[in-house]
């Protein structure tokens, strides 16, 4: 099969399209004929070797852990999933490929397109997990940094569904988009603390940093000097500032993802897509993600 691989850490130039051996479903696994792949910041961070302590690899590596596709093999012990089912979720083998193996998937609703199905799993799982860790409840005010990004924008919508008021930081070009999601937009940069206080005179109950652009100090100040209920998924300075850095727990999320997929199919949960590219363009796709300015998810098609 065709798959993207790299054999050393480095920039996107180490990525290449190659012929590799097909994986086959083992016990508890299904094999997907991959229809669409979500490109995530984690992909380039692992490729550059920045996360060797969290994500050690064995070369050659095929990137990717988020995909949507059609089940074409079912392993021993798998129930409730059949060959031909359309699913979405988290892969155990790299999914920048024609085929990938998975154990944690959810049905893809008929009304959900392949791009959105591939873009939703990581953003939904991350946002759901962080909102639970922050214990966000109805009537509270949540500040989300990077609110116009894929994870941030899903976080906005899930928090609004919980009944929270959401203040979202983003560039002014994204403010109308945030309003459409139910957030109160605030520009980031100098003067952020004053702008947030003006937008949320009731105070900030919790902070979700999905951007990682040196917003933690301001976040702690807005929480009255405490790091309690401040979480980042992007700022590697978290430990030195006493802030929680939320990493994936490996929890099985298929049932929760199925609920969010139905909301997306019904138009009640939006995932913005920046562009879709062929698998051969994995390098420019990761470059777009690494630059930090795509207006939505970057998708790859095998």
**Dihedral sign, Cα of residue 254, residue 256, residue 262, residue 267:** negative
Q: Cβ(166)–Cβ(160) under 8 Å?
A: yes
79 part of a folded domain? yes
Domain total of the chain = 2
Tokens encoding 4:
């993207």
My answer on whether 286 and 184 are in the same domain is no
30-83 tens-digit pLDDT: 999 999 999 999 999 999 999 898 889 999 999 999 999 999 999 999 999 999
Residue 251, CA distances (Å) to 39, 136, 143, 185, 257 in order: 20, 20, 25, 32, 12
Least confident of 113-127, 164-178, 199-213, 244-258: 244-258
Cis before residue 112, ω within 30 degrees of 0? no
Tokens encoding 226:
């405490």
What integer pLDDT is reported at residue 214 of this predicted model?
86
- Write the CATH number for 297: 3.90.180.10
Report how far residue 62's alpha carbon sits from residue 235's, in angstroms, rounded to the nearest whole number.
Answer: 25
My answer on whether 17 and 80 are in the same domain is yes
My answer on whether 254 and 118 are in the same domain is yes
**Dihedral sign, Cα of residue 140, residue 146, residue 151, residue 152:** positive
Tokens encoding 279:
């698998």
pLDDT confidence bin for 272, thresholds 50/70/90: very high
Among residues 102, 139, 147, which one has the least CA distance to residue 257? 102
Report how far residue 65's alpha carbon sits from residue 271's, in angstroms, rounded to the nearest whole number.
Answer: 18
- Write the CATH number for 160: 3.40.50.720
Residue 136, CA distances (Å) to 124, 127, 180, 203 in order: 15, 11, 21, 14
Q: What is the pTM of this model?
A: 0.95
My answer on whether 21 and 92 are in the same domain is yes
282-297 tens-digit pLDDT: 999 999 999 876 789 9
My answer on whether 117 and 143 are in the same domain is no
241 part of a folded domain? no
My answer on whether 177 and 102 are in the same domain is no
Range of 147's domain?
A: 136-228
């Amino acid at each position: 099969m065709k798959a993207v691989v790299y054999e050393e850490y480095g920039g996107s130039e180490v990525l290449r399209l190659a012929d590799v051996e097909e994986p086959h479903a083992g016990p508890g696994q299904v094999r997907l004929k991959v229809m669409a792949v979500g490109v995530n910041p984690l992909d380039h961070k692992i490729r550059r070797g920045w996360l060797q302590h969290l994500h050690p690899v064995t070369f050659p590596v095929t990137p990717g852990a988020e995909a949507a596709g059609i089940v074409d093999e079912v392993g021993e012990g798998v129930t409730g999933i059949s060959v031909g089912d359309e699913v979405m979720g988290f892969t155990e083998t790299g999914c920048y490929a024609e085929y990938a193996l998975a154990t944690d998937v959810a049905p893809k609703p008929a009304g959900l397109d392949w791009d959105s199905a591939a873009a939703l799993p990581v953003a939904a799982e991350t946002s759901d997990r962080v909102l639970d860790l922050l214990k966000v409840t109805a009537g509270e005010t949540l500040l989300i940094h990077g609110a116009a990004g894929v994870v941030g924008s899903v976080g906005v919508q899930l928090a609004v569904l919980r009944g929270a008021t959401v203040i979202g930081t983003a560039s002014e070009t994204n403010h109308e988009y945030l309003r459409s999601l139910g957030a109160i937009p605030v520009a980031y940069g100098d003067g952020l603390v004053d702008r947030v206080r003006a937008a949320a005179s009731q105070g900030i109950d919790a902070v979700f940093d999905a951007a990682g652009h040196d917003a933690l100090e301001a976040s702690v100040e807005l929480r009255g000097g405490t790091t309690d209920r401040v979480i980042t998924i992007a700022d590697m300075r978290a430990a030195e500032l006493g802030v929680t850095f939320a990493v994936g727990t490996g929890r099985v999320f298929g049932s929760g993802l199925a609920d969010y997929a139905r909301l997306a199919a019904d138009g009640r949960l939006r995932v913005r897509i920046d562009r879709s590219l062929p698998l051969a363009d994995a390098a420019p796709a990761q470059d777009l993600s690494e630059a930090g300015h795509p207006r939505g998810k970057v998708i790859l098609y095998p």
